[in-house]
Structure 1
Amino acid sequence: MLLCCCLVLVALVPTTLSVNPGVEARLTGKGLEYGRQVGMVIVQQKLKSIKIPDISGEEKLDHHLGKVKYTLSGIQILNVGLPQSAVNLVQGTGVRLSISNAFISMHGNWRVKYRRVFRDSGSFDLSVNGLTVATTIGIMSDETGRPAVRSLNCGATVGGVNIKFHGGASWLYNLFRKFIEKSLRNALQKQICRLVDEAVADLNPRLKTLNVLAKVDQYAEIEYSMVSPPVVSKSSIDLGLKGEFYNIGKHQEPPFSPAPFSLPLQTSNMLYIGLSAFTANSAAFVYNTAGALSMYITDDMIPQSSPLRLNTKTFGNFIPQIAKRFPGLMMKLLVKTVKTPVITFTPDNVTVQTTTTVTAYAIQPNATLSPLFVLNLDSSVSAKMTVSEMQLAGRVTLNKINLSLVTSYVGDFQVGILSGIFKVVVNFVVIPRVNVELAKGYPLPTIGKMKLVNPQLKVLKDYMLIGTDVQFTN
């Protein structure tokens, strides 16, 4: 009902020790209002399922008139109206839902027996006005660490009950009208809170869809469990998610921890999600640990339009001894990270610093690889991040590279003369392949069929901020 449509990321009680979160989220008053609108539709449908059992009774009118026996049967809900409702945050607890001036219209059949010999029957229309319902939706966690909710203290009162009978003798049913109205009021009041409690409980299967552990690809998954209880204030709900990448099947902690950060006070969107540099760096740690940040580069990967080819002739123009010792051979490069890349967030900029080794080989006619040299390649790239569907994707461009010689198997040479070649290699081979992977994106935290509406992403110091509205579909 309400929370499934609105609270989105809210509802996890911590299942880990309290640490700084890698991801923070804030639900604003605008988000609660959206939840109220969608939630009222669900509550209305639930109240339409009210089942009023047949009501039978015997009432003594007075010592002159005696007793009248009555039965109401086949009672059906025709309409439920919820013209006024509100949601409010209950500090430290959850959400308070209140409904006022609601009305319900019903139709059914009546039958009476009076003084043994007189029987009559007909139909009736019943309208209930001034119905009020209020409940607090408590937030907790189930045994799997996923969200769970329950109604804590529902209360319902029925204002006026007006019944209009059709058929039969009006003098007769007017005798027992007040007893019928009282019985129906009691029956409704017992039913309403039970149905509201059921509606809240019905959220739990949906809330179990929260991607607490979301698979990214063959190497990585990301954990979105809570690291501390939700902080419910008078205007918003703040929560901290772990937001950490792990190797699939092996949850190894990186040699760094998330630093604290706070979301800015903004209210124009329903939901704000802050993704810290820790989350990005934990991804770099995972992929580096998995050995995924290495690749072989061959000449067929260089654009045909490039005059620079990956062979000993091209490299011999810069390092003559290569052409002399290995004439007419194709070459292969092994690019491999030396240490985990470092990702930093500064206002309007994401920078990735990488240190890799480049080992150059000559490919002998029998496919044997003869090492030529090993270089250190320090590079800096800038990343542009985008949000698409429920994925955060990226694209990088090269800022600069610096080369230094580690080992040479062909004698000394000036490394700087190779910078042009390796800029071509990085720009036309390495970066396009990285961008293909980044374009696949990684999953943001989500519940059910949740959709981000007009998300805006801004890079701030040490974290990225996504401001977005939210929409749920069935």
Structure 2
Amino acid sequence: MPMMSRWCILVLLALSCPESSGTDAGVKVKITQKGLEYGRQIGIATLLDNLKTIKVPDISGKQDLSPIGDVSYSLTGIEIVDVGLPQSEVGLVPGTGVSLTISNAYINLRGNWRVKYLGFISDSGSFDLAVSGLTISVTISVQSDETGRPMVSSANCAASVGRTSITFHGGASWLYNLFSSFIDDALRGALQSQICPLVSDAINKMNPHLKTLNVLAKVDQYAEIEYSMVESPVISASSIDLGLKGEFYNIGAHQEPPFSPVPFSLPLEDTSMLYMGVSTFTANSAGFVYNTAGVLSITITDDMIPSSSPFRLDTKTFGNFIPQIAKQFPGLKMDLLVKTATAPTVMFAPNNMTLQASATITASAIQPNTTLTPLFILNVDASVSGQIYVTGVKVAGNLTLNTMNVTLGTSFVGPFEVKSIASIFQLVVKVAVIPKVNDLLKQGFPLPAIGDMNLVNTQLVIMKDYVLIGTDVQFTI
């Protein structure tokens, strides 16, 4: 039943989408401080792994130490034993991006030392170096890349090695105090020069994940949703705001609809990690796409009517209201072709979603050789209410018929009173169309998502002109 499924997906989109065709956003996303905190936890784990890869090269040199003169030294086999980032904070830098500050970090190393002095005396041993009070501060710039996806980079970075404590093992103990000052300086410099490049690398490692944003999310063989960013992210003191196109297109034929997104703003909420506003534009762009493709139609046959119903879709039943049908076409089954006359229109009001649709219903008698003989064409204006919910990383919905207004368009069997059969068509829609539509609406349509992102603790509220989704997120690793 492919035609019907197309119509169902359209209605589902009516249950949660926006209006777009220029640079205005059809879908808006707000990342709150709570969301940044979750990102900090993931980022710190990545940075910790990066810092564990610090490679300190062998260090050698010569120092003039009184009273023994020149002392040649070398530090070899230096390796990281442990790294800790116990304290970190994340914040927002308006107009730029995200600030990350790490304090009281520590790095523990071990290695071997060797010295030679007085031209022929040498000594050697091992050492442990504990670096504490390490601080790192970095600003992460958030921008849009050429594909309309978010992109991050290190805008600036500063690292400061705090206190160091060296424990020597082996060798002559009287050398330790002489030796500790220049081994401390050498290792401090080697560490400090590597920290910011490793921080920058950890930040860059986020970009492959950001590139998984579904900027073109396929819905079916006819349509896809574009979620590319229409402008660079807006960074305020409390959130990162993304404007996404949120527009449906025919696959392979991106034609703009004759309407544009209506500007809207997300409320100042911060109890969830992420807020998403999906405006009426997306739903209405879906209607335009599917109507243009000519697939918003459904054929209703008698086997779609519950067997318990006294009403049957045949010329006998309709003959009770239109006698000429029973006389001209006795004992035949009928079908009803429902097809939109114009693209449906979705409206969001507080706690209410309504879809207005204008359609035609062509009633035909099915001849013994399966050919169809048109009986009459009706014009229908219908109003449908919808309930919307989030399932997984999709939006799904459920429909209820509100009202139907039926008028006669064309009759091929002579004049008749449409009012007498209006209740029949309302019953057909309720028992045959709506249940099938709702089964398909359960499949949902994709929301913008990155990688293996899951939505948890999700709430959905219908606002004026858009649907507001508040949610926490989790990434499966």
Identify whether the pair has TM-score above 0.5, normalized to the shorter chain: yes
Q: Does 1:240 align with 2:243?
A: yes
Counterpart residue number, 2:82: 79
Deviates more, 1:149-158 or 1:432-441: 432-441
Aligned residue identity for 2:42: V
Q: Give the match's secondary structure for 1:197.
A: helix
Q: Which residue of 1 aligns with 2:365?
A: 362
Helix, strand or coil at the partner of 2:442: helix
User: In structure 1, which of residues 332, 336, 344 is the aligned counterpart of residue 347 of structure 2?
Assistant: 344
Question: What SS does structure 2 have at the residue aligned with 1:265?
Answer: coil
Q: 1:306 to 1:357 in 2, by over 3 A?
A: same
Q: Does 1:31 align with 2:35?
A: yes
CA distance in 2, matches of 1:411, 1:353: 30
Of 55, 58, 63, which residue of structure 2 is paired with 1:54?
A: 58
Q: Does the residue aligned with 1:378 lie in a helix, a strand or coil?
A: strand
> Which SS does the other structure have where 2:472 is aligned?
strand
- Paired with 2:379 and 2:358, the residues of 1 have a C-alpha distance of 7
Deviates more, 1:80-89 or 1:247-256: 80-89
Contact preservation (8 Å) 1:30, 1:267: yes
Partner of 2:180: 177
Confirm or deny that 1:43 pairs with 2:62: no
Q: Tell me which residue corresponds to 1:188.
A: 191
Indicate which of 205, 208, 213 corresponds to 1:205.
208
Secondary structure at 2:199 match in 1: helix
Residue 450 of structure 2: SS of its match in structure 1?
coil
CA distance in structure 1 between the partners assigned to 2:146 and 2:263 by the alignment: 28
The answer to whether the aligner puts 1:66 opposite 2:56 as a matched pair is: no
Aligned residue type for 1:333: L
Change (3 A) 1:105 1:175: same
Q: Which amino acid aligns with 1:287?
A: Y
Confirm or deny that 1:396 pairs with 2:399: yes
SS in 2 for 1:260: coil
Displacement of 1:253? 0.9
Unmatched tracts of structure 1, length 5 or more: 1-15
Question: Equivalent residue for 2:101?
Answer: 98
1:142 paired to 2:145: yes
1:448 to 445, 448, 451: 451
The answer to which structure, 1 or 2, has the higher relative contact order (CA under 8 A, 6+ apart) is 2
Structure 1 residue ranges, 4+ long, deviating more than 6 angstroms after superposition: none
Aligned partners of 1:445, 1:246: CA distance in 2, in Å? 15
TM-score by length of 1: 0.94
Deviation at 1:197, TM superposition (A): 0.9
Question: For 1:379-390, what aligned pairs fall within 5 Å after superposition?
Answer: 379-390=382-393
Q: CA deviation at 1:144?
A: 2.5
CA distance in 1, matches of 2:438, 2:300: 16
Moved more, 384-393 or 430-439: 430-439
Give how far 1:19 is off.
2.7
Shift of 1:388: 1.1
- In 2, the alpha carbon distance for the partners of 1:428 and 1:248 equals 33
- Structure 2: runs of 5 or more not aligned: 1-19
Matched, 1:305 2:308: yes
Distance 1:144 1:19, change over 3 A: closer
Do 2:68 and 2:117's aligned partners in 1 also have CA atoms closer than 8 Å? no
Moved more, 356-365 or 424-433: 424-433
- One-letter amino acid of the counterpart of residue 97, structure 1: L
TM-score, reference length from structure 2 = 0.93
Q: Deviations over 1:153-212 (max 9, x none)?
A: 111111111110112221123321110000000000100001001111112211111111
Q: Give the aligned length.
A: 458
- Take 1:459 and 1:76, find their aligned partners in 2: how far apart are those partners? 57
Distance 1:22 1:380 in 2: 24
Give the 3-state SS of the residue equivalent to 1:411 in structure 2. coil
Query: Residues 66 and 17 from structure 1, CA distance in 2 versus in 1: closer, same or farther, beyond 3 angstroms?
Result: farther
SS of aligned partner of 1:153 = strand
Rate the CA distance shift 1:92–1:297 in 2: closer, same or farther, 3 A: same
Distance 1:410-1:417 versus aligned 2 partners, 3 A rule: same
Partner of 2:436: helix, strand, or coil? helix
Q: CA deviation at 1:348?
A: 0.7
- The alpha-carbon deviation at position 118 of structure 1 amounts to 2.4
Shift of 1:127: 0.5
Task: Report how far residue 119 of structure 1 moved.
Answer: 2.5
**What is the aligned partner in structure 2 of residue 217 from structure 1?**
220
> Residue 326 of structure 2 corresponds to which residue in structure 1?
323
Percent identity of paired positions between Structure 1 and Structure 2: 64
Q: Give 1:415's match in structure 2, choosing from 415, 418, 436.
A: 418
